[in-house]
Amino acid sequence: MSKVVERGARLSARALVGLLGEWNGDGHAYVALAERLRLLIRDGRVPAGTRLPSEREIAAALRRSRTTVVAAYQALRETGHLVSVRGSGSVATLPHAEAASQHAVDFAHALSPPVEGLDELVASMGKDFLAALDGPEVDLLGNPGLRTAVAQRFTERGLPTAPDQILITLGAQHAIALVAHTLLHRGDHALVESPTYPYAYEALRRAGARLTVTPVSAEGWDIDHLIDLLGRLRPALAYLMPDFHNPTGASMLPEDRVRVLTAARRAGTTLLVDETTAELTIDRPWDDGPFARHGHRMTGAGSTVLTVGSLSKTVWGGLRLGWVRAERSIIQRLVQARPAGDLGNPQMEQMVGVRVMQALPDLLNRRSAQLRAHRDALCRHVRDRLPTWQVPMVQGGLSLWVGLDRPVSSALALLCHTRGLAISAGPRFTVDGSHERFLRLPFTAPLPDLERGITVLADCWNEIQSSPHRVPADQHLPSVL
């Protein structure tokens, strides 16, 4: 089974073969092998700094000639993706230009541009920023005003919350990593969705967790499967994104949330609920409020749910402010563990955060209108240029999880990269390297970029369709759920 490798680790030949999947293409084998390795390095499945197997080891594992692997490694060295030192092996690297993400169009990141009105809000603060100079130099818990504003937002959405139940973080990713580091022990079972946000499962794995997956599709969760895993494995933690799930866009029904919470309570499992996209509704006809509000009604169950959120998806990708909502005892544990990774939150950004939270209802309405226009435009372009693809009509969030009619997502991403379009292949969002029949398409880019990006994507797709790429046998493909 393939997996994402930890930075600085040594990658075995067997693990690399799993990550490579079906890499054969037209032309020379060494070229196809080098291209697939570049993709793995670019999208982070093989992080820069990872030591790769020797040419002899990988040749034996692939059942290819050593000459093929030697040529592939040399091609990687020439493009700056591999550095080899005699006696020390070969290490994956990223060229400076790629590290800076120099692409004509970026479909690889679902990053929100500044919401309309944010510039006016920040400009109006003026000398208010000077108050930040009176704040603490080391702020592990968060600005009291911001914690109060976040708590009030939870309360307004149906989950009574006090400021001392809130910890401000450097974004949601920081919150997830801090929770994993604090609550997990090496060897603990952790449950994650598949597909899912890749940096979440990487954080759990770095904390030493053994990961088990439960499937999610554009149609939703297999709730019976999820509940069965909770009962059988009794995992220490389960990471879920129940609203406008990344990358599928699905939302868990209210009655299913109650079932999952009940099962987690029985299993003694802590639920880490990611609500970074929860308020990015476009036209969903219902709003169930915070996931944890159901647990709040269950006697003794409130402590089983930790909620993370942020302003980066709703307001601006450059506003790196997030939070954890949890019971007071857990908040204190997180605060005590935090100095090992960072020394707290910047004061000026938190002051912006307070003003943003006060204006959030209006800002969310503006964001919803922007997302509607971009979603509709992207769906229209994909259906016009790529009529054989399965395009779900998501009701919120930031992206589409489109279905391809061939399992060539990685090959397509490689080809797009050469044409100036950065895009993430389906396997990037899975623990096991599956979902080659899927591709995530964010609709956060400017409208002209959406059209240009789909034009490039369609041209690359047509090129792949016209070439005799080898398609894996059905028994080696992930299920299309």
Q: What is the DSSP string of 12-25?
A: PHHHHHHHH-S---
What average pLDDT does range 212-222 have in this prediction?
A: 96
The rounded mean pLDDT for the chain is: 89
What does the pLDDT average to over 131-153? 89
Looking at residue 372, its pLDDT comes to 98
Flag whether pLDDT at 362 surpasses 60.
Answer: yes
The pLDDT value recorded for residue 298 is 67
Cα separation, 137 vs 345, in Å, equals 9
The pLDDT, as a whole number, for residue 45 is 82
Tell me the C-alpha distance between 374 and 295, whole Å. 35
Q: Coil, helix or strand for 93?
A: coil
Average pLDDT over residues 71-77: 91
> Domains along the chain?
13-99 (1.10.10.10), 105-114+370-476 (3.90.1150.10), 118-360 (3.40.640.10)
pLDDT tens sequence across 150-196: 999 999 999 999 999 999 999 999 999 999 999 999 999 999 999 99
What are the structure tokens assigned to 160, written together? 């009574």
Cα–Cα distance measured from residue 374 to residue 30, given in angstroms and rounded to the nearest whole number: 40
Give the mean model confidence (pLDDT) for residues 200-204.
95
Give me the percent of the chain exceeding a pLDDT of 90.
71
Residue whose C-alpha is closest to residue 155's, from 281, 290, 287: 290
Query: pTM to 2 decimals?
Result: 0.83
